[in-house]
Structure 1
Amino acid sequence: MDGAAAGMATKQTVLITNDDGIDAPGLRYLVDLLVASDRYRVLVSAPSVDQSGVGHGITWRHPLSAKPVQIKGATAFAVSGTPADSASLGISGLLFDGTVPDLVVSGINIGSNCGYHVVYSGTVAAAREAFIYGVPSVALSHNWIRGKSTLDELKQAAEVCIPIIHGVMAELKNKTFPEGCFLNIDVPTDPIHHKGLKLTKQGRSMIRIGWKQTDTVAGGTESYQTANVNGEYVVDTASGAFPTTMEDELLFKRFIKEEPSEGEGAEEDVDFIALHEGYITVTPLGALSHRETSDLPYFRSWLTHMADFSSSSSL
């Protein structure tokens, strides 16, 4: 084994994935920064196209393709599946000649992922998928404001996340990183002037999305919190043409009814609130949905009456 190969063998390995697609600028900025640090072996397994808002969907019924992509300093594949598929294949040992990464980093996403959006987010789902299969993971997002934010700010968001990745990797090397959660990290709109890191919990904020009827087959849906970049312009790649409809079919498309709001009286340590105060939010998440403990007394009482309903239904 030559010196270069030996050095690579001793480095920790980080796998980068996302939901915006392998050509997304956030992923490329993150990869470039990690490669430039010369600390890690950098692998990439990301969707071949934009997969924003697909949640934790997986591909089951047909094979996936993994196409090599040239990214300087990294070994990269574009996967014809969802973010969760890309993370799962990337940690399987099959894609990278038996290598299982020390850490999976998903992002950096164009658009924040706070509150209920964690459920919809492909960015968070990729990190969750790795966590479920025992590989430590981090999801990274930037609170991109459409029509205001710039690619320079997205790059700055990636830059402020690099020390966090270094910190997690150090804990993993020391075997002191907790095994019971993964991290969801959101960077404020103005990354350079952030107020520091803040430990937060998942809130209930979300963009309210409704439906409206349309008479055109083109245009599709509004993009979900993200976009890809064509030159210096951010373009909505979620829109597209649909097949010709039948005469009796009705067409509907989504639209944003209301921007997110945490509501009055929200706690200070909630992700959405802290993010909009200018903090980099660090939210530990698990794979299990937490129950609302305040509702438990009601359901205990409700269950005691279920026998009555069963008896009446049999009459």
Structure 2
Amino acid sequence: MDSSSSSSSSAAAGAGAPEPVVLVTNDDGIDAPGLRFLVDQLVAARRFRVLVCAPDTDRSGVSHSITWRPALRCKRVDIDGATAFAASGTPADCASLGISGKLFNGLVPDLVVSGINVGNNCGYHVVYSGTVGGAREAFLYGIPALAMSYDWVAGQSSANDLKMAAEVVIPLINTVMVEIKNGTYPRGSFLNIDIPTDAAHHKGYKITKQGKYMARIGWEQTVYKKPAVESYQTANMDIDSEKDSEQDTSSENDLLFKRVLVRRSYDEEEGDDMDHKSLVDGYITVTPLGALSRAEADVVPYYKACLSRLADNSSSSL
């Protein structure tokens, strides 16, 4: 059978089935190029119904924070081929609202994709990442989820690299969706995916473990200046650029401090299967994550002994 007849047969076989639904969110904001390129690729694939619920402004570095008391403001946004809303909340808020059935008239996504973030989210950065927070929120409510980030290098990377990053992850999204539809996709984890700087020449996909890579941050005192307004901003720690808040209410009488990159630290036992090393080596890293943060097993006996001594000391003092 030639490729054209195979495609026709596949199309005919799936003609009666509803399109799988993908919800896209992020932490860089709904206008971020990483999200827009990803949505373009999903729409161009003509295999999915694409929904978007993303923050109305940059919410980088907010981790899994949520909006509790204030109501979220949602505004329809025109994105070709997708049904899209910008929300006044965090990535976790957007994922939660997007999967609730309330925003999209009862429609619940089969898969949530958070990204594509500007800057890698390897190692300990997972703790800070709003991108990962959006994916984790969907996972907590039983929806398969992927967090996606591109290893942006300031002064080297460009918007075209983000476009390429969106292209190279589509096969993975397709594969995950097939597994979901077949009922064979595991529900005990979600995936954190990092795309190497040279996305066009990546070495393939690689299953990795979360390592201990981290950009160590310090503080420097700075002087007051009137906030600048930028068309696109990111607060990712791996981008050596300064970000001014559009809602900055500082005055000349305030003491102002800004975060600065001190150094990047690495796991001393960083092996070939760790996320950051594999990313630097040119692989698209695929790291399964869970919602629970467990300590290393070898520390449990130590703490049991500490509590035992505490109990003994408490008894002797009576």
Per the TM superposition, whether the score is higher than 0.5 is: yes
Structure 1 residue 178: deviation in Å?
0.2
What is the CA deviation profile of residues 71-116 of structure 1, one whole-angstrom value per residue up to 9, with x for unaligned ones? 0000000000000000000000000000000000001111100000
Distance 2:145 2:244 in 1: 27
User: Do 1:20 and 1:226's aligned partners in 2 also have CA atoms closer than 8 Å?
Assistant: no
Which of 218, 243, 252 is 2:249 aligned to? 243
Taking a change above 3 Å as real, the CA distance of residues 244 and 273 of structure 1, as seen in their structure-2 partners, is closer
2:273 pairs with 1:269: yes
User: Do 1:108 and 1:142's aligned partners in 2 also have CA atoms closer than 8 Å?
Assistant: yes
The answer for unaligned runs of 5 or more in structure 1 is 1-5, 228-233
Moved more, 301-310 or 278-287: 301-310
User: Do 2:224 and 2:252's aligned partners in 1 also have CA atoms closer than 8 Å?
Assistant: no
User: Do 2:119 and 2:149's aligned partners in 1 also have CA atoms closer than 8 Å?
Assistant: yes
Aligned CA RMSD, in angstroms, stands at 2.4
2:297 pairs with 1:287: no
Structure 1 residue 38: deviation in Å?
0.6
What is the CA deviation profile of residues 184-226 of structure 1, one whole-angstrom value per residue up to 9, with x for unaligned ones? 0000000111111111010011100011223426569993247
User: Do 1:53 and 1:120's aligned partners in 2 also have CA atoms closer than 8 Å?
Assistant: yes
Aligned amino acid, residue 177 of structure 1: Y
User: Do 1:52 and 1:226's aligned partners in 2 also have CA atoms closer than 8 Å?
Assistant: no
Structure 1 residue 8: deviation in Å?
9.6
User: What secondary structure is seen at the aligned counterpart in 2 of 1:10?
Assistant: coil
Taking a change above 3 Å as real, the CA distance of residues 130 and 8 of structure 1, as seen in their structure-2 partners, is farther
Distance 1:238 1:19 in 2: 17
Distance 1:74 1:282 in 2: 26
User: Do 1:19 and 1:109's aligned partners in 2 also have CA atoms closer than 8 Å?
Assistant: yes
Structure 1 residue 7: deviation in Å?
6.7
Aligned amino acid, residue 157 of structure 2: S
Distance 2:136 2:269 in 1: 30
Which of 106, 110, 129 is 1:121 aligned to? 129
Distance 2:276 2:250 in 1: 41
Distance 2:33 2:278 in 1: 25
Which of 7, 22, 29 is 1:21 aligned to? 29
Distance 1:43 1:70 in 2: 12
Taking a change above 3 Å as real, the CA distance of residues 236 and 306 of structure 1, as seen in their structure-2 partners, is same
User: What secondary structure is seen at the aligned counterpart in 2 of 1:85?
Assistant: helix
What is the CA deviation profile of residues 4-55 of structure 1, one whole-angstrom value per residue up to 9, with x for unaligned ones? xx97971000000000100100111011111111101000000000100010
Distance 1:212 1:83 in 2: 28
Distance 1:111 1:294 in 2: 33
Which of 137, 147, 151 is 1:139 aligned to? 147
User: Do 2:118 and 2:234's aligned partners in 1 also have CA atoms closer than 8 Å?
Assistant: no
Count residues in correspondence: 301
2:83 pairs with 1:75: yes
Which of 301, 304, 310 is 2:305 aligned to? 301
Distance 1:306 1:47 in 2: 47
Q: TM-score, normalised by structure 2?
A: 0.88
Distance 2:146 2:234 in 1: 27
Distance 1:122 1:91 in 2: 17
2:189 pairs with 1:181: yes
Taking a change above 3 Å as real, the CA distance of residues 7 and 49 of structure 1, as seen in their structure-2 partners, is farther
User: Do 2:61 and 2:236's aligned partners in 1 also have CA atoms closer than 8 Å?
Assistant: yes
2:261 pairs with 1:253: no
| Correspondence 1:75-94 to 2 at 5 A | 75-94=83-102
User: What secondary structure is seen at the aligned counterpart in 1 of 2:299?
Assistant: helix
User: What secondary structure is seen at the aligned counterpart in 1 of 2:214?
Assistant: coil
Taking a change above 3 Å as real, the CA distance of residues 8 and 187 of structure 1, as seen in their structure-2 partners, is farther
Structure 1 residue 243: deviation in Å?
2.1
User: What secondary structure is seen at the aligned counterpart in 1 of 2:41?
Assistant: helix
Distance 1:280 1:222 in 2: 22
Distance 2:250 2:29 in 1: 27
Taking a change above 3 Å as real, the CA distance of residues 243 and 309 of structure 1, as seen in their structure-2 partners, is farther
Aligned amino acid, residue 287 of structure 1: A
Which of 39, 43, 52 is 1:44 aligned to? 52
User: What secondary structure is seen at the aligned counterpart in 2 of 1:242?
Assistant: coil
Taking a change above 3 Å as real, the CA distance of residues 145 and 39 of structure 1, as seen in their structure-2 partners, is same
**Partner of residue 224, structure 1:** 236
Distance 1:90 1:246 in 2: 41
2:217 pairs with 1:209: yes
Q: TM-score, normalised by structure 1?
A: 0.89
User: What secondary structure is seen at the aligned counterpart in 2 of 1:213?
Assistant: strand
